[in-house]
Amino acid sequence: MNTSVSIVDSPLTSDDVTPPPAARRIPWQRRYARLVLAIDTIVVAIAVFGSQVFWLGPHSVDVASSPLDYTTLSLVLSVAWLGALTVGGTRHPRVIGYGITEYRLTLAASFQLFGALAIVAYLTGADVSRGYFLLSLPLGTTALLTGRALCRLWLRHRRRHGLMNARVILVGGADENARVAAELAAQPAAGLQVVGIHELPGEAAAWNEVQAASLRRLLTDLRADSVLISGGALLEARDIRRIGWSLDPGQQHLIVAVNLTDVAGPRLHTRPVAGLPLVHIETPQFSATQRILKRAFDIAGSASLLLLLAPVFLVLALLVRMSGPGPIFYRQERVGQGGTHFGMIKFRSMIDGADARLHTLLAEQGREGTPLFKVADDPRITPVGRWLRKYSLDELPQLLNVLAGQMSLVGPRPQRDAEVEFYDDDAHRRLMVRPGMSGLWQVSGRSALAWDDAIRLDLFYVENWSLVGDLTILARTFKAVLVPGDTAH
């Protein structure tokens, strides 16, 4: 059975220095966990002792009906909180730095600890200041989540420079290896850096000692710590098991890529049944509770922003009025939820009567008959309109569409009938939810994304909606607006 082995070029970093033969490279998870532990310790100590000083004063006060004073209690609470975060698995190598599981476990550990302490105080009759506890919990939990988020930002920065990554060797067919390598290269924040490829032939065949020796040599020469089976169909289950047996326990890891894409973690559940690692995928659905929650969030968010931004609306309206003849607001028919039509409102950013020139300009640039009707260097845009578009200020009136129930704060962008005509059967699933002012593809590349990529990201949003996801997209939206970059048009 012939195989091909290749080494993927990657920039050398300080992690790439060859260690002495007897030394072992400390996994990035362990180094990162140490940083998070240090941040957690500082945050918990400040939150607990700060709450004590703020609520009870700088001097030590005895706890009523107890031999303890509040300084000792604060020390015990801090140690117990850090212990709860450890026992709760918030710094586990399979959790830390990945997804929202880390945040969810941090919340759960914090609330469970304070619940347990409340029960203990009740059973022992200890008269502990309620204000002290009620201040410590929200402040400490918020600070912990903020600290974890800042650590994530630091981790992403390091990964963009080739650091704090798992060094991965791909094992599979040529097509599967290329697909997985491209996906991982496009997502450096995932922390999986492909350093080598072990290519299998197109037909299924037994894993032999020659291949095993070749893979072990690659692992040693490239100092890789993970093997990713990208084409499991080419290997039998026993062969994948043997690859796992050949890895150094605790230092090298086996990853098997399931042939699934665009499915978020909360919908995936692995349940071993009769020795089979079955992957259960929940069917995407919007429950009544989810729909009510999303609509309530839209109403509260849009109403608050309209009140808060009223002076900004007035200034922008005056600027649009002075930019030239024509109305202040521009209304365009778009396709909404379920294929219904509505009038989307924007601040006018073009000269009056600009729509009549669209087809001519598209034809001149050879873009007629293509989706995402964007004109490069559009001459119809006014100087004020160009500035409004760069910072997405022309989109603000759509808060009225959100309040009216025609749009949502977050969702797939509403498109025109001519663009909807390009939808295939899969793309029509975009119309299952209300269109949004901002969406996943807007914060992932804005005007630079191709049509297929934009549709894929919108479908991912529809299939995997969550309120936490909406909040994350909104946070990334504010960043994209404040620092628009070169892809904003």
On whether both 450 and 304 belong to a single domain, the answer is: yes
Strand partners, 329: 347
Domain shared by 233 and 327, yes or no: no
As a whole number, the mean pLDDT across the chain is: 79
Q: Per the structure, how many domains does the chain have?
A: 3
Q: Are residues 14 and 32 in the same domain?
A: no
Domain boundary among 159, 193, 213: 159
Asked if the structure places residue 488 within a domain, the reply is: no
Same domain, 400 and 352: yes
Q: Bridge-partner residues for 253, per DSSP?
A: 226
Instruction: Tell whether 312 and 417 lie within a shared domain.
Output: yes
**C-alpha torsion sign, points 278, 284, 290, 296:** positive
Both 234 and 168 in a single domain?
Answer: yes
The residue segments making up the domain with residue 132 are 28-159
Question: Would residue 470 count as lying in a domain?
Answer: yes
Contact call for residues 456 and 262 (beta carbons, < 8 A): yes
- Same-domain pairing of 150 and 257: no
Check residues 189 and 158 and name the one with the higher pLDDT. Answer: 158
Calculate mean pLDDT across residues 73-99.
87
Instruction: Assess whether 315 and 390 both reside in one domain.
Output: yes
Is the domain of 249 the same as that of 133? no
DSSP 163: -
Long-range Cβ pairs for the range 117-126 (8 Å, 24+): 117/77, 117/80, 124/66, 125/65, 126/63, 126/64, 126/65, 126/66
Interval 447-452 mean pLDDT = 66
- Identify the pLDDT of residue 351: 80
Among candidate residues 227, 252, 281, the one where a domain is terminated = 281
Tokens of 420: 């909807």
Look at residue 403 and tell me if it is in a domain: yes
Domain assignment present for residue 401? The answer is yes
Residue 25 has pLDDT above 70, yes or no: no
Helix orientation angle between 237-245 and 209-221, rounded to the nearest 10 degrees: 40
Containing 194, the helix (H) or strand (E) segment is strand 192-199
Q: Does 268 share its domain with 361?
A: no
242: domain CATH number is: 3.40.50.11060
**Predicted confidence (pLDDT) per residue in 418-432, tens digit:** 788 878 777 788 888
What per-residue confidence (pLDDT) applies to 39? Answer: 94
| pLDDT greater than 50 at residue 241 | yes
At which residue do the structure tokens 């026993």 appear? 238
Quick one: 232 and 372 in the same domain?
Answer: no
Q: Quick one: pLDDT at residue 15?
A: 41
Q: Is residue 197 part of a domain?
A: yes
* Non-local CB neighbours of 125 within 8 Å, separated by 6+ positions: 65
Burial of 180 (0-12, 13-18, 19+ CB in 10 A): buried
pLDDT digits (tens, 9 = 90+) for 393-411: 999 999 999 999 999 999 9
pLDDT at 44: 93
Going by C-alpha positions, the residue among 240, 284, 273, 283 that lies closest to residue 258 is 240
Tens-digit pLDDT profile for residues 325-337: 888 998 989 999 9
More confident residue, 136 or 274: 136
Q: Answer yes or no: are the C-beta atoms of 162 and 193 closer than 8 Å.
A: yes
Task: Check whether residue 197 and residue 88 sit in a common domain.
Answer: no
Residue 487 included in any domain: no
458, two tokens: 């919108």
Q: Are 334 and 415 in contact (CB under 8 A)?
A: yes
Residue 55 placed within a domain:
yes
Q: How far apart are CA 428 and CA 339, in angstroms?
A: 9
What pLDDT is recorded for position 55?
77
Number of C-beta neighbours around residue 434 at 10 A: 24
The single-letter code of the amino acid at 126 is: A
Q: Is the pLDDT of residue 218 over 80?
A: yes
CA dihedral in degrees (317, 323, 324, 325; nearest 10)?
-10
Is residue 222 one of the residues assigned to a domain? Answer: yes
pLDDT of residue 370: 57
Q: pLDDT at residue 204 above 80?
A: no
Domain final residue pick, 96, 127, 159? 159
User: What are 373's two structure tokens?
Assistant: 């009707």
User: Residues 228, 170: contact at Cβ < 8 Å?
Assistant: yes
Which residues does residue 277 pair with via DSSP β-bridges, in sequence order? 272
Closest CA to 7 of 166, 256, 218: 218
Residue 447 has pLDDT above 60, yes or no: no
